[in-house]
A and B are shown apart, each in its own frame.
Chain A
């Protein structure tokens, strides 16, 4: 019964979204208040209905109701409860339902918290949001129905894969989806503004919190995915330039650009059409990501061609939404420019460079991701574009970006005095150069580019801190008051910029100065890596709850002194007939010592184990930096200036708002 109610609820949500995609926008163009206001209540209703459907599906997973096909295919009565719950969105149909749920929640968010948005803009935005909902709800209902039933139910479910039973994997998709889908609201705002034919600073201010919220989740989602790959996959890498990673990284890059250009639109009433374009493109890339991951295109272009129904549907959605919005943009944008002028050296110009570089970087990643797919579709040849391409094309774009990033916050709006700024920064520049040289003195091996990049990271962190100190006059009395009076968004900026510098240090350290030793080992074998002496002491067979494990004991010493003992294992799950590698890691701020064992491939090497030791310097800076980025974003989001800004209805138009 409950699954059928869920089915009915999504059917209701679809029709409700259809009504919402017409009535409010029609009301806005005919200034019919009643029609305009229907969007608010229907948005909330859709969130309730889809939320109910999601609960219905989740309940089917929790109680292992095998009359629901989706549960049969993706669960098993013996799974631990938490993975039963996570199974709800761990598959195609369920993840689409989650997608639609987040979409509906964001729509309801605009409806409920958007009291300060003018009627017309709100009605149009909600209608555009409903168009997206209609697209995805109909896609789900007609091609990927999560409530497909089987009766009589089979004896038990079919999925008991131990590799996929991981808490990181359970949390990663929802966060990523909040990021992807969050940009839909920004997209809807942009399209609504185009239809209305006007973008003013007020528009940018309404858009900013939604962009920020989406950006924060996307940052968290990407970082969590990377963290999962590093700790659970057991390969010792945290980023592989894999298409699945790239499609989440592209909206992040453009979203970052959008965040910055929206500031210019808000404060200086310029960059309008550029901001709109970024809003459209960012969400388009999110859609593209959904298409690439959800259509099965990645596994194989041919698999896609065999069962093209789903892929073609999303491709159609993609064509309509991107094509339609860009056409609208082409028609309306030219009338939109104007606003504040600025000199070549100014904060606007700095942000323009930021935007151009970020957009170029996105284009590079897009090319590297799509080119192999096109090539395979056209010639049938399967190639992979790997890290060498991305390193060679992506890094040279990012380095100047980071340089400008340190400088940007010192520039004033409209026109800035670059030589003056550089004069003020001369001590910092000298300090950066000295620090870089000191680093070079200690680390002579490794690429020169790594040392220079490290210097640039020092520069960014130093400049961000210096700007913060200067702004707050940190050495003069009353500094706490000044910190409190500063808008939180500006602290957020400093924190996020430092976060980027810290992430960069982690990236450079763990890729340029990474050490790796692979050897055949038997008990007694000794291996040296990064100043550590490792002794392979023994190998034991142990029994886990549902697996058999072979555990190696490895003693770690440095300069003859005992440091720690590590136990890498290899697990065999007899029921699922699969094996996993559980690495052992010694985590310190300076770097991770990462050990794993696996059986040798060669027959004649029986009794010998492939023993892999990795040293990844500074790798934890990645996670610390990511946390700083997320915190910075959240701090900025919590800035109270984002929430006020609407007067009571009765107030005189130009009455001064009391100071904060």
Chain B
């Protein structure tokens, strides 16, 4: 359907250019003919005025002489050539240019494939949204009614849910409860700051800065705090400093992280202002490597058995590398996940055990430590 529409529209654009070649019978008019017609009209008008007695006979005669003089002048201008034909090739070329050029413009501005969804067809979504809203409000009421002030986990869920629903004001209310608590973490403060910034359409207010400062104090490595502090710095007009801050934060890491893409986009956006070339993520030679783009593409073309075989070879490659670099925690976790997916529970537990050696050195509340312990309990237990 979409293509039919595109073709019809493109045809309208292209055919209109070659229209004169398709239809040659249109009447044409040169300048003098048109002018003479108007003069004839004026002569008739003078006659009418004279007949009505608006102007005297003498006046009418004078006016007619003047008009006739102009008619003679116009007639002299008449060009003998009524225009040539030809130029077909250029016309055809232009007819081709119209759809091609439009395709180029559309390539830049359009978003092909984005479906159009009338409001009436979104009943399910509306239903889900309104149910979610009811649930969220019920949760809030329960938390408010709780004499102990409500669980932190409950409030966090409420705050993030409101945030996802776009109800920033409501979300802020929940965050404000959370930040006043003893157990508020760096993440609590940075998410609160994020809500504040969203509420002010992207402006980092003094209140948001305070929250970010607190967040960075609790965990200097929290990337969200760094990100928004850099944004604040940029809004103070210190774009180079902000950009440097983001780059330095990436440099602290030894392995690629999910948040780096957003950092990179900001770094390059800021750099563009000063005409700096876009930078790319560092290589991270020590980091465990996932399958490359080519590998994934290769995998897509395989049969199910072949794909299984392919995954196994990738996994054994990773296991091989980890034997040489056993202190790579992320690598062990990845390996354990891969084994779990393949159904090789024993190997998964083995990988997790190797990871546990490393996580035992981590502080008590590190999520990775918990993850490894839970994993072993689940698979091996």
Contact = CB atoms under 8 A, between A and B. Distances in A.
Interface residues on B, range: 35 or more
Contacts of B118: 63-65
A416 to B, nearest CB: 12
A23 B97 CA distance: 12
Interface in A1-26: 1-5, 7-9, 11-16, 18-19, 23
A141 B40 CA distance: 47
Interface string A19-39: 100010001001111111110
Interface stretch (A200-208, A249-257, A322-330, A455-463): A200-208
B43 A656 contact: yes
Contact of B37 (A120, A487, A645, A659): A645
A447 B23 CA distance: 68
B163 to A, nearest CB: 14
Interface residues of A, number: 88
B161 interface: no
Contacts of A33: 20, 28, 82-85
Nearest to A649: B27
A632 to B, nearest CB: 20
Contact of B19 (A38, A66, A153): A38
A63 B55 CA distance: 63
Contacts of B157: none
Interface stretch (B46-54, B171-179, B182-190): B46-54
B6 A34 contact: no
- Most chain A CB neighbours (cut-off 10 Å) among B12, B15, B27, B34: B34
A23 B98 CA distance: 13
What DSSP secondary structure best describes chain A's contact surface?
Answer: helix
Nearest to A196: B31
Contact of B33 (A5, A155, A653): A653
Interface string B341-369: 00000000000000000000000000000
B122 interface: yes
Given A35-B91, A49-B9, A141-B105, A202 B38 contact: yes
Nearest to A137: B105
A117 interface: yes
A16 B26 contact: no
B112 A4 contact: yes
Nearest to B107: A11
Give the residue among A63, A141, A647, A653 with the most B Cβ atoms within 10 A.
A653
A117 B119 contact: no
Interface string B61-102: 000001000110011001001111111101100100111011
Contact of A5 (B6, B42, B94): B6
Interface of B: 1-2, 5-6, 9-10, 12-13, 15-17, 19-21, 26-45, 47-48, 52, 54-55, 59, 66, 70-71, 74-75, 78, 81-88, 90-91, 94, 97-99, 101-103, 105-106, 109-112, 114-120, 122, 125-126, 129, 165-166
5 contacts: A2-B116, A34-B88, A65-B116, A644-B41, A653-B75
Given A5-B6, A16-B13, A32-B85, 12 more contacts: A8-B106, A11-B110, A30-B84, A32-B83, A32-B84, A36-B83, A38-B16, A118-B32, A153-B122, A205-B38, A647-B36, A653-B78
Interface of A: 1-5, 7-9, 11-16, 18-19, 23, 27, 30-38, 40-42, 44-45, 48-49, 52, 60, 63-68, 77, 115-121, 141-142, 145, 147, 149, 151, 153-155, 198, 200-202, 205-206, 266-267, 269, 340, 412, 471, 482, 485, 487, 641, 644-649, 653-657, 659-660
